């Protein structure tokens, strides 16, 4: 089989990355430990705005990729805020901006949110993804490429050396 040297669909990509938001590192692989994420290119398992920029990258190549909110976790949805009275919040939850809390909607679905703001007796809760509205700054390096196996393509994910 021909050696795969550039990123294209149906290849398993091993990628080192650092993710910064507003200049702060919020996630990174540990390159000193040989750590990398693996995914099938074109499988839409990573953020679309990042996947798109990887096409054609070669093994060993590094790149800075800026992903706007629309291509990442979406814009902030004004409909994802709710306001409750302080007395509606359980005593165990500290009433300060940034505190995370979990509510259940009418169908029993768990919603993870956080306190956005406290004004007088009112508490404004934000149920947007924490990275909604944020521009993501990735620094990526392709460390390996190989063709995905037919089984991996059928499953839509990468298999480890020992199978699943
Ligand atoms: Zn599988």
Å from CA of 159 to ligand 1 middle: 6
Å from CA of 150 to ligand 1 middle: 10
Å from CA of 152 to ligand 1 middle: 6
Domain with CATH 2.40.10.330 in the chain: 78-126
Q: Where are the beta strands (DSSP E) in the chain?
A: 11-21, 24-28, 37-40, 62-67, 81-85, 100-104, 110-119, 122-126, 136-147
Å from CA of 14 to ligand 1 middle: 17
Å from CA of 160 to ligand 1 middle: 9
Phi-psi domain of 57 (left: phi exceeds 0; alpha: psi -120 through 50; beta: other)? beta
Å from CA of 156 to ligand 1 middle: 7
User: How much is the pLDDT for 106?
Assistant: 84
Handedness of CA 56, 57, 58, 59 (dihedral sign): negative
The 10s digit of each residue's pLDDT in 36-84 is 999 999 999 999 999 999 999 999 999 999 999 999 999 999 999 999 9
Residue-level length of the chain: 164
Q: Which CATH number fits domain 11-73+132-150: 3.10.50.40, 3.10.100.10, 3.40.120.10, 3.40.50.300?
A: 3.10.50.40
The 10s digit of each residue's pLDDT in 142-152 is 999 999 999 99
- pTM for this one? 0.80
CATH architecture of 78-126: Beta Barrel (2.40)
Å from CA of 153 to ligand 1 middle: 9
Domain with CATH 3.10.50.40 in the chain: 11-73+132-150
Residue 126: pLDDT band (50, 70, 90) is: very high
Q: Are strands 110-119 and 122-126 parallel, antiparallel or unpaired?
A: antiparallel
């Amino acid at each position: 089989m021909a050696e795969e040297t550039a990123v294209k669909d149906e290849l398993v990509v091993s990628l080192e990355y650092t993710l910064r938001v507003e200049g702060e590192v919020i996630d990174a692989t540990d390159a000193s430990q040989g750590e990398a994420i693996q995914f099938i290119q074109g499988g839409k398992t990573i953020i679309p705005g990042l996947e798109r920029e990887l096409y054609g990258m070669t093994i060993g190549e590094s790149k800075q990729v800026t992903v706007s909110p629309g291509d990442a976790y979406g814009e902030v949805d004004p409909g994802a805020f709710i306001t409750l009275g302080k007395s509606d919040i359980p005593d165990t939850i500290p009433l300060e901006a940034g505190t995370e809390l979990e509510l259940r909607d009418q169908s029993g679905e768990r919603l993870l949110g956080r306190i956005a703001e406290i004004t007088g007796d009112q508490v404004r809760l934000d149920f947007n993804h924490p990275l909604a509205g944020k521009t993501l700054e990735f620094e990526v390096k392709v460390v390996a490429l190989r063709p995905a196996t037919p089984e991996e393509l059928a499953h839509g994910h990468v298999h480890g050396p020992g199978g699943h």
